[in-house]
Each structure stands twice: as C-alpha cells, then as structure tokens.
A and B are shown apart, each in its own frame.
Chain A
Amino acid sequence: MNEIMNLNPVLLIAVPIGLAMLVPILGLMSSKIVKWVPVVGFLFNSVVSLAVLPRVLNQPIIVKIAGFAPPFGINLVAGPVGMFLAALIAVSGFLVAVYSLDYIHEGAAEKYHILFLLLLSGATGVVLTGDIFNLFVFFEILCISSYALVAYLGNRSGIEAAVKYLIQGAIGSSLLLIGIGLLYGQFGTLNMADLAQNITSFSEPSVFVPMILMVTGLGIEAAIFPLNAWLPDAHSSAPSSISAVLSGIAIEVGLYAVIRVVFTICHVTGSFFVFLVAIAVVTVLIGEMSAFGQKNIKRMLAYSSIGQIGLILFAFSLATEFGVSGGLFQMLSHTLGKVLLFLSAGYMIYRTGSMEISSFEGVGKKMPWTALFFTIGTLSIIGLPPFAGFSSKFLIIKAALAKGDLLYILLMGIVLLGTVIEGTYFFRVVQVIYFKESNNKTEPEGPPVSGLISMSVFAILVVLIGLFPNAILKILTTAASELLNNLEYIRSVLG
C-alpha cells in the first residue's frame, strides 16, 4: 500500500498514453485482448489516484518533469482539486471501459480504445498540470480525440456533429493559445503559479483581454452559454459510452480549466463574479428549457448537461467556500448521475433500436435493471434525496443563501425553477419507461453482464454518496480552499 501511495502522479498520465500507443501492437497479436487495455489502464489509475488522494490533502505533490524547478520546467501539481478530479476521471473511465467491453462490438474497435485512452489521459493531464501551455496541449489531446470519437459511428449525424464540434473547438483552442501568448509576452512565464504571482490586478486590459480569450476558449469546451451550441449535437451523436464520458467528464474538465484561470491565475474578484453568476443562470435556464421539448433521449440528456454545467458554474461563481465545495460536489454527482443515465440509455437505445423517447414504452418490464438504473440517475440529477444530487444541490443553495444578498436569492429561485422544468421532463421519461405498455411484442433482453456491472457500480455510488456525503466533504472543503486561496497554491508550487 505504501508503495502505491508513493507512486508518482505523472504515471496517471503516462500509463494511459503509453497503453494507447501499445494498443496497435497488441492488436496485431489478438483482437480480443485490445478491449481489456483501457480497463487495465484505468483500473491502475483508479487505484493510484485513490491511494494518493489522502496524501495530497495535507500537502500537494509537485512533480518536476526532467528535474527543472517549477518556474522553469514543466510541472504537475497534484493538489486536492487535481487529484479529486483525476480520481473521478479514473474511476468513471474504468467503469465506462468495463461497459464498453461488450457495448463496442462493431466498427474499428481498436481505434475506439486508443481514442478513449487518449481522451481520458488528456483530461487527467488538464486537471493535474501546473503549466498553462501544457494545459493547452492536454486540452488538444482531449479535444481531438473527442472529435474523432463523436464521428466514430461514421453515420450522418455523427459526421455532421463532429464537423460542427471541430470548427467550434478549433476556434476555442486558437483563442486559448492567443491568450497564453499574450500572458507569456507580458510575464515571460508559463507556469500557472508564477503567472498568478505576477498578476496583481485582473481588470487591467493587459490581463483582462487574455483572460477573456482564455475563458472563451475554454468555455467552448465547458459549454457555457452561448458557447455551447456544439454540445447537444456531439453528445447525442456519439456512441453512448462516449456521450457519457463527454457529458460526465469532458465538459467538467473544461469548466475546471475555466475555474483555474479565473480563480488561480487571474484571481478574479468583485463584479466579474456577478457576470459569471448571470451567465450561469442563463445557461441553466436555456439548457433546461431546450431539453424540455426534446423527443430524442440523448439530446435531452445533452441539454440537461448544459443545465447542470450552469448549476456548477453558478456554485463556483459564488466564490465562497461553501459555493466552491458545493460546485465540486455537484461535479461529482453530475458525473455519476449523467454517466449512469447515458449508459443505461445506451442499452435501452440499443435494444429498442431508436433514440425516440416514445419508443421506450414498456422498457421497464423488459429491462428492469436498466430502467431502475435510469430512474436512480434521474432522481439524482434532479436532486432528490436520498441520492447524491440532493447533497450537492443542498450545499449550493445553502451557499447562495449564505451570501445574504437578495440578488442571489432571486437568481437561486430561477435556478430552482430550472430544476422544476428538469424534474418535469425527466419524470415524463420515467413514466414512459414504466407506465406505458408497448405495442410490439418483441422481447429485448437485458444488457450483458459487463454493462450491468458498470451501471450498478455507478448506481451504488450515487446512493452511497447520497447517504454518506460526509465521506467526501473533507476532500471538497480542502479543494475549495485550494481554489479560493491562490497564495496557498503559489506557495506550495514555488516553495
């Protein structure tokens, strides 16, 4: 155990990338073995990240690549936030990989596994890196592999969605790069801690412009309104396991990067947060209202992700300890809930052969477990007790009310209105699944064991975290203080 705890966090990125390179070689030997590679990789990642997580709560681990000290070399910062998200990515990646064992059985499976490994190692890289250009590189790994995965099925909708996603994503990364270049030109450093140390006021145009460029660039991946037009297309056209990862992880990683720029590098204060809160509320409303009338289940889930991202951004923009820890908690519960929803919807779509919600009539009887998991995910996403979503929503509302400002209470009310809309359309789907009899008498069987295992683990996690939220509350509060207190971050990195 001790050996695992002392492992270098760089392995969390290196191992999946290395395995991704190994996949084609293994593919030559046997096609069966390939699909186990992501499972092994993310099992390793889960074990390592969960073992290291308690250690970083006391003291962040700073990894110097090639031995250069932080401002000069590239470094990894395995702080509470980074490790928390890395663990989340690793565990969900592992479970989705288990799900994919049987779910991905046609097409170029080998490429799927390579891209899947790359996507999640890119995500892990983004959350662990301490260097802003390095962040850009990992971001591109994440983005390019997700463009390819959206187009993986090669059908009309997939290609169309991938094209649109690529155009917007490419603009986003160019904007991000311009922002990085502007910052480097002024401060001569790429290290995030060093940048944070040098930036004294974010409202100077020389800092504000690069910040906005970066926020916009990253905001495209984070699906902040109005930069999120690619999301419903891409998430609904990808294979369900990929939609799960994109919705549950990729956009949250994007949001993490936005938050890192806003909180740590630029150390934003004051009225910019009011702007962010307003954007968040609009994102919630647009997302939930767009989801309301959807007939396509995956599109509905995708729009609901926009709403959830809005809620997370809302929590972060409160910029209090309660708010930030509530936001991180919401990230966790959204990942678990939304991945669960996409995975269970995946098999329902596969067995009924249609993405239309109306075609799910009678699924509750034919695939009882999948329907149950879907329902649990639904209740958690809406934020009903005793599931994980309740605790996070509870913390967020508490944080908003603790601000003591009437404005925040009103905005909170609008967000809760979004929740009511969300509840309505989700409960309609639950009704279709359970309480409508289907006309066709074919007997679709349940999902295979691998799918059941991965979905049930997600469902159990949703229930357990809902019942025992205190287990992770300490991690969240430490992480929140890391995000809010950038001096602490600078000191731990630069010494």
Chain B
Amino acid sequence: MSLEILLAIAYGGAFLTYFSGKISQGLRDGAAVLLSLGTVLIVSSFYNVPAASVLYEGFLGLSLVLRMNSLAWFFAIAIVSFNALCVIYSLAYMKDRNEKDYYYFMLLLINAAMLTIVLSGDLVTFFIAWEIMSWATFLLISYNRNGALQAGIKYIVLSLIGSMCMLIGILSVYTSFNTLNISELSGQLTTASAGYKLFLLIIFSITFGIKNAVMPLHTWLPDAYTESPTPFSAVLSGMLTRMGVYGFLVILFGIVGIKSVLTLGSGFISYTKTMAWLGAITIVIPTFIAMLQNDAKKLLAWHGIGQGGYMILGIAFGTSLGMAGGIFHTLNHAIYIVLLFLSVGAVEYSTSGIRDLNSLGGLFKKMPIAFLGGFLGISGLIGVPLTNGFVSKWLIYKTLILENAPFLAFAALLGTWGTILSVYKFLHNLYLGQIPEKHKNIKKTPLAMQVPIVILSFAIILFGIMPGLPLKVINSINVAFGFSPLDVNLWGVVSEAGTLNMLNIFTALIVFGAIVWGIFRISRPATLTDQYDNYAAGAAIPKDKYHYTVEYYAPFYRMVKPFLKDIFDLLYQKVARANDFLCDNIRKIYTGYVGNYVMYIVFFMAFLIFIQLKWSVF
C-alpha cells in the first residue's frame, strides 16, 4: 500500500461520502464510518514501515513528496483514530441536524488535509495541506451559525496571518537553499547564519504558535472550540490544534536542528528559554481563566490552551526526556480532551443543547457512560496516577527539574492545581449533586456515543498503566531527531532523575484501595436521608431543592476576576476596531466629485515630471 493510495482514499472518501449523501442518508453514514475506519487500518499497517514517494513531480519547479517515518506515523495514527471515533460519535450527535452531507464532507476533508500535513516530506506540500486544513476548518466552525460566525472570522484572520508568515518563511528557505525537502534541508541549514535561523524560527513560531494557541496568539481558540459542533470541537482540540506541535517539532528539530536551536541566544534571552516561558504563561493563565467559565465547552477550551503549554514546555528544552514528555503529552491530551468533549456532547445531546454549568447537575445516574468518560477524562487532565496524563506530566516535571528550572516547574505545578479546581467544577456541575427537575426525563445516551467514550476511557487507563506502548514509538522519533533513546519498558521509564514504574504504583494503589475499601466495609454503612430530615439550627429549611452548581467558586471568582481578563483578546479587538475605522476613512479619498479625481491625475503626473526635471531621481 503506497502513501498516494492512502491520500487518495482519504480525499476521495470525503467526496464519496458527500455524493453518497445525495443518494441516501444511511449510505453516507456507512461510507463515512467505513472510510474512516479504513484509513485507520491502512495507517496502522505502516507501523515501522518507513516509506517515501513522490506525489507530484515539478509543481512550479518543485517536487511534492510524501514520507512516512516514526514521527509521521505517530501523528497519523492519532489523527485517523480520533477522526474515526468522532465520525462514529457524529452518527448519533448530528442525527437531527441539517446539511449533514456538508458536515461529513468537511470533517473528512480536514482529516485528509491533516494526514497530508504529517505525511508531507517537503514544505510546499506541508503548506498546501495546511491551507486546505485552515479554510476547511473555517467552513466547519461556521456550521453552527449565529455566534459561530464571529468565531470563524476570528479563526480565519489569525490563521491567514499565520499562513502568510509561513509562506514567507518557506519561500525564503527556498530562495536560500533551493530545496524544500525536509530531509535535504536539515543538512543544509546548519551552515546558515544564526540571525537567519532566528528569523526562520520566529516566523515559523508565529504560524505554529497561532495554531497551537500559545499565549498571546491564543484568542481564536476559546470561541472556535465553543461554537463548533461538539464532535468537531473534539477533532479541533485533539489533533488539529496540535498540528502546531507537529510544526514545531519539524521546524525545530527536523529542519533547524536541536544543536543550532540551543545555541541561539545565551542565558535568559535565548530562543528556548523564551519558548519555555511562553509555554509556562500559557499553562498558568488560561487554566485559571478556565475556572471562571460557565460554559462546559469553553471551560474545556481554556484547558486546551493550557495543556498546549505543557507540550511547548516539554519540547522547548530539547532533551530526550522533555521531547518524550511533550510528544506523549500531545497524544495524552488528545485522548482525554476528546473524551471530555464527547462527554459534554452526550450531555448536550440528552438535554437538547444545554451546556451551561449553572443549570445542569446530577446526571450521573442518568448517563453513567458519559460520567465515566468525564471522570476518567478529568483524571487524565489532572494527571492522577494510573491515567495517561500522569506519565507525560511526570516526564515534563523531571525535565524541568533536570534542567534546573524551578520557576517553570512551579508554573507547571500551579497549572495542575488550577486544573484540579476547575475540572472538579466541571465534573460536579455536570454529573454530581442534585438533578434539576426538568432533566429528570432526558434522552438516553445512544450506542454510537457510548462506543467512542468507552474506547477512549480504556485508552486512558491503558496508557496510564502501560506507558511503554506509545513511548516505544516516541523513542524511535527521538532517535530519528538525533536524541539518545530513553530506557523504556512496558511499565515505565528508567531515567537519571528517577525511575517510573507504573506496575509498582498500580500494585501500591490496589493495596491502598483494598485497605480503604476494607475500612469502609467494616465501618457503619451510610444511610440515605431525606433532604428535609435535617437540623438547620432552627431556621426554616428551604422547600426548593438545593442546587449547588449555581455560582460555583463565586467568592474566588470575585477575588481574581479583575486579574484574569483576556487582555490579548481585548487588545486584538481594539486593533480590529481601529482597522475598521481606518478602512472606513481611507476610502474617503474617493470623494465622489470628479474635480478631485482629475486633480489626482494631474498631480500624479505633475509630481513625477517635476521631481525628474528638478532632481533627476530616476
């Protein structure tokens, strides 16, 4: 199976799905699921099978090439798997929506474009696929109408700025080195001057920083995640945003090379330090902003930004431990954030579109599977031992400790604390507490929603207990980039900063759990009492049901609100308004009076003739 066929299936599948939708709905759903599962199978068959092929010889004098290596495989398998899960999920979620042909078409097109990005062996293919991904994403973000339109514009403006930067970067590389093939470039760029490398890194960092939502370029993300259809929010948060991480990996380690990156700047003012600090800021501030959100998806969106910071923090140092942490965290984050979005989506589906954290609660018994997903998802997000998030965060913390970066480590810890607080709000306000009356008879979670949630929940535990499975692939990525491989076994990592063995932790937790369970067994069993059977110091007991979910963290909220404004978003909005104003006024030069226009003509001519006759400038 060659790479071209894989892409042909991916792109052709999108069109096939669209046109089969014109015939019948069932056919389209079947085609979408089968095609996305098919791509999963094909991609998985490339495991440890490096491949390369020329896609297109001589596109404007360049050849577009594809290649499959461990890095590409790692990202590709993640992309197609999450896509398949989201397609399956959409079968149920999108059931009552209009224009589903369009939805599936765009979803599969974006999937194909992302696949092309990670498979591309040269920067032009990369750029073309990147752009297709960008405009297709815009078209799908806008799908929900209303508020989504503004979110879409925000996304596409930032995305266009990013891609214009990337275009300049790519073409400047091309004019300097006359090739855009990634593997050929990696050798040549070592000879370039430091200033040029820095220019390249900065210009590409803008592009990938926008996509990966690094502070201060993150403002498109909360709106886009919130307003998209939920299965697409999952794709967006899971892999699409992380194309930025992929881009960083390719440009930093694949093209410029880690040795050169580390020598750029010295002391505090260096490229890697700046990256790391931006990553740290990206962890802390968004995580605390997330705490203030009352929209479940927006809360997750802010976490999406925050978790992106961990990945940047991991790869910024360019050690094999940090790389493993950053890349592994990308995968882990994708698993649990997709899971959380799917869980929210299930709630949204059952309550016909409510995701306001103030008006939900107590859905635990009605939707056990969604609760399971939500619970394991937040455990992963926090990094509770035995979930996958723990391992990657452990790797990142160890890197920070080894690199003597206590402040960064503190920032990462602070982020985790914020995460604990805010995701508890998330879990509690959705699933725990008392159920509001109107949600007593909600729709059941359909099977098509349950399956992806269960699979992802399983993956969280699996990668949590046996991190060796993905770490083995990540190790080969590390080797390909020229890092020393980590000492990995199925249960964990052995490193100079300590050994991680999930088997020991697993056993310890089992033992500990058994003790706790035993204590609970032998102590007095809990009894359920009525809400009104209570002593309230003589005060009247309210007749309404308690609803703890309203104004969660209100005192804290009042305390920190003034400090946690999204100043960058406000700034960009100011810039946008200034731009509107400028644009509205600059066209006033077209006054509508012909005399002015004639004057422009005469002055233009007279000016040129005059300066030439007077000073002979031309």
- Residue ranges of A at the interface with B (Cβ–Cβ < 8 Å): 163-164, 167-168, 171-172, 175, 202-203, 205, 208-209, 212-213, 216, 219-220, 226-227, 229-230, 232, 268, 270-272, 275, 286, 289-290, 292-293, 303, 379, 382, 384-386, 390-391, 393-395, 397-398, 401-402, 404, 409, 412-413, 416-417, 419-421, 423-424, 427-428, 430-431, 434-437, 469-470, 473
B171 within 8 A of A: yes
- A390 contact set on B, CB distance < 8 A: 128, 131
The answer to whether B590 and A412 touch across the interface, beta carbons within 8 angstroms, is no
How far is the CB of A441 from the nearest CB of chain B, in Å? 16
Checking B582, B609, B618 against A270 with a beta-carbon cut-off of 8 angstroms, the contacting residue is: B618
- A289-B583, A416-B164 as given contacts; A397 in contact with B142, CB under 8 Å: no
Checking A212, A394, A430 against B171 with a beta-carbon cut-off of 8 angstroms, the contacting residue is: A394
- Residues 127 to 182 of chain B near chain A (Cβ within 8 Å): 127-128, 131-132, 134-135, 138-139, 142-143, 145, 148-149, 152-153, 156-157, 160-161, 164, 167-168, 171-172, 174-175
Q: Mark B569-598, 1 if CB is under 8 A from A, else 0.
A: 000000000011011101101100010111
Can you report 23 A-B residue pairs in the complex whose CB atoms are below 8 A from each other? Answer: A167-B597, A168-B594, A168-B597, A212-B608, A226-B601, A272-B618, A286-B589, A290-B583, A293-B583, A384-B135, A386-B128, A390-B128, A393-B167, A397-B168, A398-B174, A401-B174, A401-B175, A419-B160, A421-B583, A423-B156, A427-B138, A435-B143, A435-B145
The answer to whether B60 and A395 touch across the interface, beta carbons within 8 angstroms, is yes
- Residue ranges of B at the interface with A (Cβ–Cβ < 8 Å): 58-61, 127-128, 131-132, 134-135, 138-139, 142-143, 145, 148-149, 152-153, 156-157, 160-161, 164, 167-168, 171-172, 174-175, 579-580, 582-584, 586-587, 589-590, 594, 596-598, 600-601, 603-605, 608-609, 612-613, 616-618
How far is the CB of A5 from the nearest CB of chain B, in Å? 27
The answer to whether A416 and B601 touch across the interface, beta carbons within 8 angstroms, is no
- B145 contact set on A, CB distance < 8 A: 435-437
How far is the CB of A2 from the nearest CB of chain B, in Å? 30
Checking A212, A398, A435, A469 against B609 with a beta-carbon cut-off of 8 angstroms, the contacting residue is: A212
The answer to whether A431 and B608 touch across the interface, beta carbons within 8 angstroms, is no
- B583 contact set on A, CB distance < 8 A: 289-290, 292-293, 421
- B168 contact set on A, CB distance < 8 A: 397, 401, 409, 412-413, 416
- B135 contact set on A, CB distance < 8 A: 379, 384
Checking A208, A227, A419, A473 against B600 with a beta-carbon cut-off of 8 angstroms, the contacting residue is: A227
Task: Determine the main DSSP class of B at the interface with A.
Answer: helix
How far is the CB of A269 from the nearest CB of chain B, in Å? 9
How far is the CB of B36 from the nearest CB of chain A, in Å? 22
The answer to whether B152 and A423 touch across the interface, beta carbons within 8 angstroms, is no
The answer to whether B175 and A205 touch across the interface, beta carbons within 8 angstroms, is no
- A385 contact set on B, CB distance < 8 A: 127-128, 131-132
Checking B61, B148, B174, B608 against A435 with a beta-carbon cut-off of 8 angstroms, the contacting residue is: B148
The answer to whether B160 and A289 touch across the interface, beta carbons within 8 angstroms, is no
Checking A164, A208, A469 against B612 with a beta-carbon cut-off of 8 angstroms, the contacting residue is: A208
> Which residue of B172, B609, B618 has the most chain A CB atoms within 10 A of its CB atom?
B618
How far is the CB of B603 from the nearest CB of chain A, in Å? 8
How far is the CB of A329 from the nearest CB of chain B, in Å? 9
The answer to whether A286 and B586 touch across the interface, beta carbons within 8 angstroms, is yes
- A205-B613, A289-B587, A424-B157 as given contacts; A431 in contact with B60, CB under 8 Å: no
Bound form: Cα–Cα A270–B132 in Å: 39
- A385-B132, A401-B172, A420-B157 as given contacts; A216 in contact with B164, CB under 8 Å: no
The answer to whether A216 and B601 touch across the interface, beta carbons within 8 angstroms, is yes
The answer to whether B586 and A208 touch across the interface, beta carbons within 8 angstroms, is no
The answer to whether A398 and B601 touch across the interface, beta carbons within 8 angstroms, is no
How far is the CB of B137 from the nearest CB of chain A, in Å? 12
- 6 more A-B contacts (CB under 8 A) besides A386-B132, A404-B175, A435-B152? A303-B587, A385-B132, A397-B168, A398-B175, A413-B168, A419-B160
The answer to whether B164 and A419 touch across the interface, beta carbons within 8 angstroms, is yes
Bound form: Cα–Cα A212–B617 in Å: 14
Bound form: Cα–Cα A292–B618 in Å: 34
- B149 contact set on A, CB distance < 8 A: 431, 435-436
- A424 contact set on B, CB distance < 8 A: 153, 156-157, 160
Bound form: Cα–Cα A171–B160 in Å: 40
- A208-B612, A413-B168 as given contacts; A232 in contact with B128, CB under 8 Å: no
The closest CB in chain B to the CB of A212 belongs to: B608
The answer to whether A167 and B598 touch across the interface, beta carbons within 8 angstroms, is yes
- A227-B601, A473-B60 as given contacts; A203 in contact with B616, CB under 8 Å: yes
A-B pairs with the 3 shortest C-beta distances?
A290-B587, A292-B583, A229-B597
The answer to whether A289 and B582 touch across the interface, beta carbons within 8 angstroms, is yes
The answer to whether A167 and B594 touch across the interface, beta carbons within 8 angstroms, is yes
- A394-B60, A402-B175 as given contacts; A172 in contact with B601, CB under 8 Å: yes
- A379 contact set on B, CB distance < 8 A: 135
- B171 contact set on A, CB distance < 8 A: 394, 397-398, 401
How far is the CB of B284 from the nearest CB of chain A, in Å? 30
How far is the CB of A236 from the nearest CB of chain B, in Å? 12
- A167 contact set on B, CB distance < 8 A: 594, 597-598
- B612 contact set on A, CB distance < 8 A: 203, 205, 208-209, 212
How far is the CB of A334 from the nearest CB of chain B, in Å? 17
Checking B61, B153, B579, B597 against A427 with a beta-carbon cut-off of 8 angstroms, the contacting residue is: B153
- A473 contact set on B, CB distance < 8 A: 60-61
Bound form: Cα–Cα A163–B592 in Å: 12
Checking A393, A417, A434 against B142 with a beta-carbon cut-off of 8 angstroms, the contacting residue is: A434
How far is the CB of A463 from the nearest CB of chain B, in Å? 13
How far is the CB of A304 from the nearest CB of chain B, in Å? 13
The answer to whether A423 and B157 touch across the interface, beta carbons within 8 angstroms, is yes
Bound form: Cα–Cα A307–B161 in Å: 18
- B172 contact set on A, CB distance < 8 A: 401, 409
Bound form: Cα–Cα A60–B584 in Å: 48
- B590 contact set on A, CB distance < 8 A: 229, 232, 290
How far is the CB of B14 from the nearest CB of chain A, in Å? 14
How far is the CB of A408 from the nearest CB of chain B, in Å? 11
Bound form: Cα–Cα A209–B606 in Å: 10
Checking A209, A227, A431 against B153 with a beta-carbon cut-off of 8 angstroms, the contacting residue is: A431
Bound form: Cα–Cα A451–B399 in Å: 64
Bound form: Cα–Cα A167–B597 in Å: 9
Bound form: Cα–Cα A64–B30 in Å: 67
- B589 contact set on A, CB distance < 8 A: 226, 229, 286
